[in-house]
Amino acid sequence: MKIPIGTKVTVDLWDSRNRRGMVKHTGDTLSLLRAESDFSLDKGQGAIVVKSYENFVKIIPADEFSKAITGTGKDVKVDKEALVAFILTHLYISIESTGGIASILDLFHFFKQTSLNEFITLDKLYKISKMSSLPFECISDEGNLFFVLPDSERTQDCRDLIALAKEDPVLSVAKIRHRKHWSDLRIRKTLNYMVKKKFCRFESSYKDGEVYFFPKN
């Protein structure tokens, strides 16, 4: 018996150590199939088939991520709007360490740790970046594609640079990189936003290069 990819099944018996066991599939009749998974599962837990062979399936847990999977067989796909929501949540959760910036490779590796690992490709993420009305920016920088939260969410980074400017009111990308260990994209996005909001003033000269002047308090 071979059942379509995307079919929902229930874990019946499971060896947590070897991540193998049996699952129940309720179709025209109740069937038991051998199964394996890359994830820890428990008896009675819902799961979704991601690879199907004769009387044998590979499954993922039915969780928050796999809810984005729709259809079965040749019609199985991952809902794009759900992927956008997952990306947005990831950017917010990691904002303290990343400034709300993630490269396409960062997101690819993130999704590979979730139950969507069999469905996510770089091409899918690239197509997401081309969607209209996204709640984040998609920026090409130095040959890489980045997913970036709106500048209005950059308040903590602004506070950090204001605190840094109390020690040195003339900052540059290099100075901030040395002190904060941020990416250049994160630094430039924050500084440009602060210039726009008149928190600092930008000047460029042959002698000093590109510098940002902060008011002395």
CATH topology of domain 77-149: Arc Repressor Mutant, subunit A (1.10.10)
**11 vs 25: CA distance, rounded Å:** 9
**Residue extents of the structural domains in the chain:** 8-62, 77-149, 153-213
Alpha-carbon distance of 100 to 189, in angstroms, equals 11
- Same topology for domains 77-149 and 153-213, yes or no? yes
Tokens representing 106 are 């960062």
pLDDT of residue 164: 97
In CATH, what number does 153-213 get? Answer: 1.10.10.10
Say which CATH class 8-62 falls into.
mainly beta
Is residue 160 within 8 A of residue 171, CB to CB? The reply is no
CA-based nearest residue to 38, from 116, 110, 97: 116
User: Strand 56-61 to strand 77-78: parallel, antiparallel, or no bridges (unpaired)?
Assistant: unpaired
Q: How many residues does the chain have?
A: 217
Q: Which two tokens stand for residue 207?
A: 């002698």
| pLDDT per residue rounded down to tens, the chain (217 residues) | 789 999 999 999 999 999 999 999 987 778 899 999 999 999 999 999 999 999 999 999 999 999 999 999 999 999 999 999 999 999 999 999 999 999 999 999 999 999 999 999 999 999 999 999 999 999 999 899 999 999 999 999 999 999 999 999 999 999 999 999 999 999 999 999 999 999 999 999 777 689 999 998 6
Q: What is the C-alpha to C-alpha distance for residues 33 and 56, in angstroms, rounded to an integer? A: 6
Helix residue ranges, H only, 56-172: 80-93, 95-98, 104-112, 122-129, 155-167
